[in-house]
Amino acid sequence: MNKKPLILVTNDDGITAPGIRTLIEVMNGIGDVVVVAPDNPQSGMGHAITVNTTLRCNPVTIDDGPQLEYSCSGTPADCVKMAVNEILNKKPDLCVSGINHGANSSINVIYSGTMSAAVEAGIEGVPAIGFSLLDYNWDANFEASKTYVKTIVESVLTNSLPEGVVLNVNIPNLKSEEIKGVKVCRQALGNWKEDFDKRVSPQGEDYYWLTGKFVNLDKGQDTDIWALENGFISVVPTQFDMTAHHFIQKLNTWNL
């Protein structure tokens, strides 16, 4: 009999978010689950780590599932470091992060706490997947996601990811029967057109809210944005070697 895989679950919306509760439920059907997740929302934290202050990490019970859970004061990347180096006594077979409330497609991979946890696991040599549903609402409906999350996790456990590669999975906000399937994609080229909302405090001081609109600059039909707009789940293999290898040769012709 095969031993059950040890699965680390984390996220960036906080340990009580409906998205991670759904992910834990699905993972309980696949392996032994340990949850180490932030005690408060960490959206937009990118790959931040806590170097100038202390961390707390304590066992908690949130529901009556079989998983072990720890609530951590740090960022998603901190949670993964804490889990792998302090809480678990063996390296997990898989780390899953999410399910995020909101998209992490295109350039959002770089701002995403959800994906930074998956990337951190990858850096530590743990196969990893970040899951996101295209619905920012707290009461988003994760029902349709469950089957696909299960299939993708089982595929990763069966096929293995190469070193240095994690998966970025985004799920369109559709009913099960409307989802057309899963597409392997590249990250679309896009960025945010910011619009700072400038206000004046009661004390007469200027302050700003960061707001903005995502702009897709990429007409390719092999991108995550295209897949999601056309009813598919997007899976982007994502790496943390950020070297622009294609530019090394040219850069060597400069007189530096």
- Within residues 92-111, the interface with a copy of itself by CB under 8 A covers 107, 109-111
Stretch that binds a copy of itself, among 28-36, 47-55, 63-71, 138-146 (CB under 8 A): 47-55
Structure tokens at 210: 């960061």
Euclidean distance between CA atoms 6 and 88, whole angstroms: 10
Amino acid at 10: T
> Which of 4, 29, 63, 86: binder of a copy of itself (CB under 8 A)?
86
Stretch that binds a copy of itself, among 25-33, 78-86, 137-145, 172-180 (CB under 8 A): 78-86
Euclidean distance between CA atoms 148 and 227, whole angstroms: 15
Q: Does 254 bind a copy of itself (CB under 8 A)?
A: yes
Q: Does 215 bind a copy of itself (CB under 8 A)?
A: no
3-class DSSP assignment, residue 227: helix
Q: Does 25 bind a copy of itself (CB under 8 A)?
A: no
Cis-peptide into 99, omega within 30 deg? yes
Euclidean distance between CA atoms 170 and 207, whole angstroms: 34
Q: Does 82 bind a copy of itself (CB under 8 A)?
A: yes
Stretch that binds a copy of itself, among 17-25, 92-100, 119-127, 135-143 (CB under 8 A): 119-127
Which residue shows structure tokens 């903005």?
Answer: 212
Q: Does 54 bind a copy of itself (CB under 8 A)?
A: yes
Residues from 166 through 195 that contact a copy of itself (CB under 8 A): 182, 184, 186-187, 189, 191-195
Q: Does 245 bind a copy of itself (CB under 8 A)?
A: yes
Euclidean distance between CA atoms 27 and 240, whole angstroms: 25
Q: How far is the CB of 64 from a copy of itself (least distance, A)?
A: 25
Q: Are 83 and 36 in contact (CB under 8 A)?
A: yes
Euclidean distance between CA atoms 215 and 154, whole angstroms: 34
Q: Does 51 bind a copy of itself (CB under 8 A)?
A: yes
Q: What is the DSSP letter of 230?
A: T
Q: Does 119 bind a copy of itself (CB under 8 A)?
A: yes
Q: Does 45 bind a copy of itself (CB under 8 A)?
A: yes
Q: Are 35 and 24 in contact (CB under 8 A)?
A: yes
Q: Does 12 bind a copy of itself (CB under 8 A)?
A: no
